[in-house]
Amino acid sequence: MRSPMLANSSDITTSPTHFYTWENNRCAYEVHQSVNYHPEDIPLLLIHPIGVGLSRQFWQRFCREWYNTNHGNVIYNPDLLGCGESDTPRKAYTPIDWAKQLQYFLQTVVKKPVILIAQGALSPVAIELVKLSPNLITGLVFSGPTAWSVTTKNAPKWQQKLLWNIFDSPIGNAFFRYARTRKFLVSFSTEKLFASGDAVDEEWLNTLLADAKNMGGRYAVFSFLARFWQRDYSSDIAAIQQPTLVVLGETASAISKEGKKETPDERMADYLACLPEGRGIKIKGRNVLPYESTADFVAAISPFIKGLNSHS
């Protein structure tokens, strides 16, 4: 399947959907490349967010802007297991599961070090991946990472199990059917994700609605809602030796109750105080910066990526 949002540019090539097998599961990915391709530039590996209708398609706007601004890095854009065109087995997914999937992807498909760009609460996947294969990670970009108070808190195991059992039932099935309606997606996107309701456009909604038709995608969403991604990552973050850029929206907010009192400046300060090689930047927007503030996001990370390229 060719990505419709990139197919119109004669200067950009987007591969058809490729597949590889990991632990008996078929996993999907695509590769983006421009006529400005520089073989010496470090490839980018994108980690999409988890949510109703979310998949690698989240990154299409970013990829287009990246190449329209004359960057030459190859982009690898995979679907995490349970999402998009990858298989969707019924299981409780954790960041280490997805990190192991991406580790295999790096070892067998990419076969060279990359720069990770992780969106939102999927930063734990990047953190776990650095632990698994530090030699394959040159640098990291955290786009709108989770509130620090949430990132450094262990979710109670009993609570995770209870929530999973509720979601993995007819109740959860009914919830997912409601959550994939246009009404819910508009409401949630406006209230929790975007700085402006006007930014919740047809392109965003149609992409979510199309992907959410696959009921198999509910298990990744339920795993996220049951907080299988949450534990205290402070020591792991402090151990990251690679250069790391934290990008936050000026109106960044927390979806969970714990982080609601935290300002973007406080969140940034906490991450940078913990990261050995951290730096940070704020741009306009809220919680889905690569989509809602694409040009600003690309401009914000470009000097960081360029610096890593020049040292590779």
SS3 of the chain: the string is CCCCCCCCCCCEEECCCEEEEECCEEEEEEEEEECCCCCCCCCEEEECCCCCCCCHHHHHHHHHHHHHCCCCCCEEEECCCCCCCCCCCCCCCCHHHHHHHHHHHHHHHHCCCEEEEEEHHHHHHHHHHHHHCHHHEEEEEEECCCCHHHHCCCCCHHHHHHHHHHHCCHHHHHHHHHHCCHHHHHHHHHHHHCCCHHHCCHHHHHHHHHHCCCHHHHHHHHHHHCCCCCCCCHHHHHCCCCCEEEEEECCCCCCCHHHCCCCHHHHHHHHHHHCCCEEEEEECCCCCHHHHCHHHHHHHHHHHHHHHHHHC
Which amino acid is present at 233? Y
pLDDT at 8: 42
Please give the Cα distance from 282 to 144 (Å, whole number): 10
Q: What is the pLDDT of residues 37-89, one digit of tens each?
A: 778 899 999 999 999 999 999 999 999 999 999 898 999 999 999 999 999 99
Domain 12-311 listed as CATH 3.40.50.1820 = yes
pLDDT at 5: 41
Alpha-carbon 107 to chain mean position: 20
Which range, of 94-98, 99-103, 297-301, 307-311, averages the lowest pLDDT? 307-311
Which amino acid is present at 150? V
Q: What is the pLDDT of residues 9-27, one digit of tens each?
A: 446 667 789 999 999 999 9
Q: What is the pLDDT of residues 205-259, one digit of tens each?
A: 999 999 999 999 999 999 999 999 999 999 999 999 999 999 999 999 876 665 5
pTM, two decimals, is: 0.93
CA dihedral 220, 224, 229, 230 (to 10 degrees): -170
| Residue 39, Cβ density class (10 Å: 0-12 exposed, 13-18 middle, ≥19 buried) | exposed
Is the pLDDT score of 309 beyond 90?
no
Q: What is the pLDDT of residues 118-170, one digit of tens each?
A: 999 999 999 999 999 999 999 999 999 999 999 999 999 999 999 999 999 99
